[in-house]
Amino acid sequence: MKRAILLVVFVILALLSVFVGVQKISIIHIFTLTSEQWDIIWISRIPRLVSIILAGAGISICGMIMQSLTQNKFVSPTTAGTMDAARLGILVSLLVFTTASPLVKMGVAFLFALLGTFIFMQILERIPFKDTIFIPLVGLMFGGILSSITTFFAYKFDLIQNISSWLQGDFSMVLKGRYELLYVAVPLLVIAYLYANQFTVAGMGETFSRNLGLSYKAIMRIGLVIVAFITASVVLTVGMIPFLGLIVPNIVSIYRGDNMKKTLFDTAVFGATFLLFCDVLGRVIIYPYEVSISLMVGIIGSAIFIYLLMRRKAYA
């Protein structure tokens, strides 16, 4: 029943996303739209809708994978330095490959995101104190270091305005021909579903995984590659979106449990629905102006994050 309600809300918000904006387009007059209005729908509104769905589903699944592999509910691409590493990779691509195509930039961002996530996982293995709150704090400090390095070199080479565009997530600039990199998330989400049970087992530890005949390191690498690729494509296309990969898997696990294969679909749909809600709200709250998606998700997500912390303390 809850899944049916979630799908209904998702469809309603998807329709609102297409017909809400500065240019008024009414769903009632869908069959009498002008050619200019149809151009707005196909060039701007539909690409924006698709990018929101792919980004919301992708980052949410990344958070679920990282939480499963680390056995920590407060680890995500935001709190593990993955997004900050991807942004550093974008800066390097701007410095070294000045005329590179978006595909090359995504490749560089992917390598940095993968390396950053791998370093974070290595740090975790060397931390004897495995407290639930302490680990994401380490990730935030690690991400802060990467962000400082990025900002320093951006100032040094006069690229601070360029790199700032990837600091604030924004869907307003998404147009046809400028969001297709996000399609890389589709096959990766399928792979994540196929390996969902293996990720769950790998999260129980290396010894337990080996006893079940599972290649622990191989599964970890697959998970990190999926997280790095999706994160790099989202950061390069729409910018950084905080809290999404952190709160969505936690909310879904409250009412669906922790079986990753059973909750992966719900996590993807809920992530897309949550991002759609924040985007539509950002478009109407100070209409005709627009609030960036990173700000909307940051405000709502931080409130939910505080609630999750308080709930954990209450049920501890």
Per-residue pLDDT tens for 4-22?
888 899 999 998 888 887 7
Per-residue pLDDT tens for 226-278?
888 888 888 888 888 888 888 899 888 888 877 788 888 999 999 999 999 99
Tokens of 168: 């604030």
- pLDDT given at position 213: 78
Which CATH number does 2-20+35-314 carry? 1.10.3470.10
250, 265, 114: which is closest to 192 by C-alpha?
A: 265
Confidence of residue 141 (pLDDT cuts 50, 70, 90): confident
pTM confidence score: 0.87
Residue 187: cis peptide before it, omega within 30 degrees of 0 = no
**Residues counted in the chain:** 316
- pLDDT given at position 129: 62
Residue 60 corresponds to which amino acid? S
Per-residue pLDDT tens for 143-163?
889 888 888 888 888 877 777
Residues 43, 38: Cα–Cα separation, whole Å: 8
Which carries the bigger pLDDT value, residue 23 or residue 12?
A: 12
How far is the CA of 259 from the CAs of 67, 138, 247, in angstroms?
A: 12, 27, 17
Residues 204, 182: Cα–Cα separation, whole Å: 31
72, 2, 58: which is closest to 237 by C-alpha?
A: 58
Q: Would you say 227 and 178 are in contact if contact means Cβ atoms under 8 Å apart?
A: no
